[in-house]
Amino acid sequence: MSETLFDLKNVRKYFTRGAEEIHVFDGLNLEIEKGDFVAIMGPSGSGKTTLLNMLGGVDQPTDGEISFSGDRIDNLSEGALANWRATNIGFIFQFYNLMPMLSAARNVELPLLLTNLSAKQRKENVATALELVDLADRTTHKPREMSGGQQQRVAIARAIVSDPKMLLCDEPTGDLDRETADEILSMLQLLNRDFGKTIVMVTHDPLAAKYAKRILHLDKGNFISEEVD
């Protein structure tokens, strides 16, 4: 029987811009099962990134419930959410967002600083993660010494190094050429298929979305269609 990892019930999200109140979501419902690979597509302003931020616990709904593995996360404090993110979520950004002054290995090690692992264990985990993304020979390289694809692979290694259940990807191939994008997407697919990582990916790119098991089309805060692989 499949296990629900994320459960969004009647989620509302409002922003105020000056005197105007903008309703991004007005009663959104969504379930994401463990092991799923979901691509969320939609035009700009449809709420994709806001949804991803709420799933990642960096933003909270105005109203409604968000549960993760049965536990509510929408009412957690900032500190508790930080702990929750460190344990359960790996983030992959469009522009990689690596620390420019740190080597690839040090960048990957960052999430492990939030754990109780020893330096030796951290080093081993970093080596494993970098090997998995095929960058074992680039450990000492700084981001500026690597191509965009390599930097994104370092970012993936950083996202998976603490073995989170969930990977949230915000346009992970938006800054890459087609060939490199395919490499990155194949890697995400591998992480989903062989390592059981649940992935939610926001993308504008229909070719990228095809790597997912499920494609959700979002428009004006509502899911208007769903494609299942």
38/216 Cα distance (integer angstroms):
7
Instruction: Output the smallest distance, CB 57 to another protein, in A.
Output: 9
Sheet of 89-92: strand order equals: 89-92, 166-170, 198-202, 37-41, 214-219, 222-228
Contacting residues toward another protein, per CB under 8 A: 49, 53, 56, 58-59, 78-79, 82-83, 85-87, 91, 93, 95, 97, 99-102, 106, 109-111, 113-114, 119, 122, 158
Q: Which is nearer to another protein, 87 or 128 (CB)?
A: 87
Instruction: Output the smallest distance, CB 97 to another protein, in A.
Output: 4
Instruction: Output the smallest distance, CB 18 to another protein, in A.
Output: 16
Q: Which is nearer to another protein, 200 or 215 (CB)?
A: 200
Q: Which is nearer to another protein, 100 or 194 (CB)?
A: 100
Instruction: Output the smallest distance, CB 210 to another protein, in A.
Output: 27
Q: Which is nearer to another protein, 78 or 194 (CB)?
A: 78
Tokens of 57: 């616990």
Q: Which is nearer to another protein, 36 or 171 (CB)?
A: 171
88/227 Cα distance (integer angstroms):
26
Report helix, strand or coil for 196: coil
Please, which residues bridge with residue 167 across strands?
Answer: 90, 199
Q: Where are the beta strands (DSSP E) in the chain?
A: 4-17, 20-33, 37-41, 63-68, 71-72, 89-92, 166-170, 198-202, 214-219, 222-228
Tokens of 189: 């697919």
Q: Which is nearer to another protein, 64 or 164 (CB)?
A: 164
Q: Which is nearer to another protein, 85 or 138 (CB)?
A: 85
Instruction: Output the smallest distance, CB 90 to another protein, in A.
Output: 9
Instruction: Output the smallest distance, CB 229 to another protein, in A.
Output: 29
Q: Which long-range contacts (CB under 8 A, 24 or more apart) does 113-119 make?
A: 114/86, 114/162, 115/86, 115/162
160/57 Cα distance (integer angstroms):
17
Instruction: Please list, in sequence order, all residues whose beta carbon lies within 8 angstroms of the beta carbon of residue 1, skipping any fewer than 6 positions away.
Output: none
Instruction: Output the smallest distance, CB 168 to another protein, in A.
Output: 9
